[in-house]
Amino acid sequence: MASPKNLSRRDFLSATTRTAAGLAAGSMFAARTARAATRRIGANDRIVLGIIGSGGQGLHDANTACRADNVVCAAINDVAEFRLDYAEKVLNATMASKGHTGVKINRYNDYRRVLDDKDIDAVVIATPDHWHSKPFIAACEAGKHIYQEKPFSFTIEEGEAMLAAAKKQKGLTIQIGTQRRSQMNYLQAKQFIDEGKLGDIHFVRAYDCRNYIAAEDPFTPESVAKRTQPDLNWNTTRIDWEQFQAPCKHKVSFDPLRYTAWRWYWDYAGGLVTDVGVHVIDNVHWLLGEPVPKSAVCNGGVYGVKYWETPDVVNAIIDYGTFSLSFTGNFTNGFEGDGFILYGTKGTMEVRGNDIKVWAEGDRSKPAAHWPNQHGVHQHNWIECIRSGKQTNAPVELGVSSLLPSHLSNLAYRSGKRITWDPVARKAS
């Protein structure tokens, strides 16, 4: 895949269409027996997890899930030995704290080995974005329940193929890692909006602002080493770089920065719009009844964090027909933090982090309503739904619909054009 911002729209859309065609032709791996989805796991039964991508987020998700009752992790997969070492240490400690001792954690450098393990009921998939589709589709074929980290897909077309695979397995419990869907104060805010108390909403401003210049970038090699293994030597540490970049057409020599800070390189991810923008845009979709975007434009650049390929300041404008949503990602200044504002004709709803306030039109003296953060554990909701068969707070369809505005915005940024969405053909142009 070409990396420059000024990739032609025709070339970029053509490349993503070719990717989809390859996925639509079927998984490159042998189909697996759908075991887990056909077996209901009772309240007193043990749920056995596997991790595909055992880095920081995958370990966090699985470790949190293991804090629920009667949940263990018995398989971990990663391209880096030091990730496996650290994950095994953390998981063993957590499982021991819950009374689970002597659990053997199998270590694999191939995710297919996790899926072939018949003792594994469910998997956490937290690979870099460019590796999301193949493990997800294979996990569906294997009948494993899935916690899929956001952003759901690397491209629109891969997301469509992933959703199609999920729909073939009706018994699967799938949770998308947009964890703010488990913050229950949003239910009160949604009721307020649905009752018309905010009036008509024609403008939304969403943002995520952090400072990776004055403060430390947590994804540099130095930061990663500090958190996991202080004496890590990137020149001698075993990382299967060939496997890491296997899905990429653009192959490069190993670079520790590209490995740890993959979020900011086009070969592996979509930068701020998909990585953090999806969280706040997903919440907007939730509160406004899951609207569908019509078009997007986007600009910005790499202004401060010079080693990024994706923009460190980005401004996307998405048109929904009845309202306009602007998203700003700015990682050169953290003044605003993250959140969004819904501008209604009767009032304004302001969300900072997960703290929600409503201001009456023309009156900023005090909030007309306030719903403080009601913390929910997204991973535990997934576990509960595996046992009950109920729908998760962030079901698989949201992986596609909530991410669509971000994908359209990146297409617009890289092509320099306005990108439109055809909801019938389900194609961008």
| CB atoms inside a 10 Å sphere around CB 214 | 9
Q: What is the pLDDT of residue 43?
A: 78
- In a domain, residue 108? The reply is yes
DSSP β-ladder status, 71-77 and 47-52: parallel
To 5 degrees, how large is the angle CA 273–CA 298–CA 399?
35
Q: What is the DSSP string of 5-38?
A: TT--HHHHHHHHHHHHHHHHT--SS------GGG
> What is the mean pLDDT of the segment spanning 22-48?
57
Q: Do the domain assignments include residue 230?
A: yes
**pLDDT reading at 135 higher than 60:** yes
| 331 is a domain residue | yes
In this structure, are 154 and 200 located in the same domain?
no
Asked if pLDDT for residue 12 goes beyond 80, the answer is no
pLDDT at residue 389 is higher than 90: yes
| CATH code where residue 188 lies | 3.30.360.10
Residue 311 sits in the same domain as residue 164: no
Please state the rounded mean pLDDT for residues 249-254. Answer: 95
pLDDT attached to residue 409: 98
Answer yes or no: is pLDDT of 382 > 50: yes
Confidence of residue 136 (pLDDT cuts 50, 70, 90): very high
Residue 21 confidence (pLDDT)? 39
What is the C-alpha to C-alpha distance for residues 158 and 263, in angstroms, rounded to an integer?
18
Q: Are 174 and 146 in contact (CB under 8 A)?
A: yes
Does one domain contain both 388 and 360?
no
Q: Does one domain contain both 103 and 205? A: no
Q: Indicate if 151 and 166 belong to the same structural domain.
A: yes
Same domain (yes/no): 25, 118: yes
Mean pLDDT along residues 157-161: 98
Residue 6 has pLDDT above 70, yes or no: no
Which range among 225-234, 243-252, 269-278 shows the weakest confidence by mean pLDDT?
A: 225-234
The confidence score (pLDDT) of residue 308 equals 97
Instruction: Report pLDDT for 429.
Output: 97
Residue 44 is predicted with a pLDDT of 81
Gap between the Cα atoms of 301 and 311, Å rounded: 4
| Residues 221 and 98 placed together within one structural domain of the fold | no
Give the separation between CA 270 and CA 265, rounded to whole angstroms.
7
Q: What's the average model confidence in pLDDT over 305-327?
A: 97
Both tokens of 278, joined, read 């999806």
Whether residue 363 sits in one domain with residue 247:
yes
Domain check: are 38 and 174 in the same one?
Answer: yes
Q: Are residues 24 and 54 in the same domain?
A: yes
Q: Judge whether residue 23 has pLDDT over 80.
A: no
Same domain, 218 and 361: yes
Query: Using CA atoms, how far apart are residues 420 and 297, in angstroms rounded to an integer?
Result: 9
pTM, two decimals, is 0.90
N residues, the chain: 429
Residue 339, phi-psi category: left (phi > 0), alpha (psi -120 to 50), beta (remainder): left
Looking at the structure of the chain, the number of domains it has is 2
pLDDT grade for 17, boundaries at 50, 70 and 90: very low
170 and 298 part of one domain = no
pLDDT number for residue 290: 98
3-class secondary-structure state, position 418: coil
The predicted pLDDT at position 1 comes to 37
DSSP state of 66: T
Q: Is residue 98 part of a domain?
A: yes
Lowest pLDDT segment from 210-219, 318-327, 405-414: 210-219
Is 16's pLDDT higher than 80?
no
Q: What is the pLDDT of residue 39?
A: 59
Higher pLDDT, 215 or 357: 357
Residue spans of alpha helices (H) in 235-393: 241-244, 256-260, 272-275, 277-287, 378-388
**Enclosing domain of residue 29:** 18-180+378-393
Kindly state the tokens that stand for 376.
């929910």
Question: What is the rounded CA–CA span in Å between residue 341 and residue 127?
Answer: 31
Q: With 60 as the cut, is the pLDDT of residue 103 above it?
A: yes
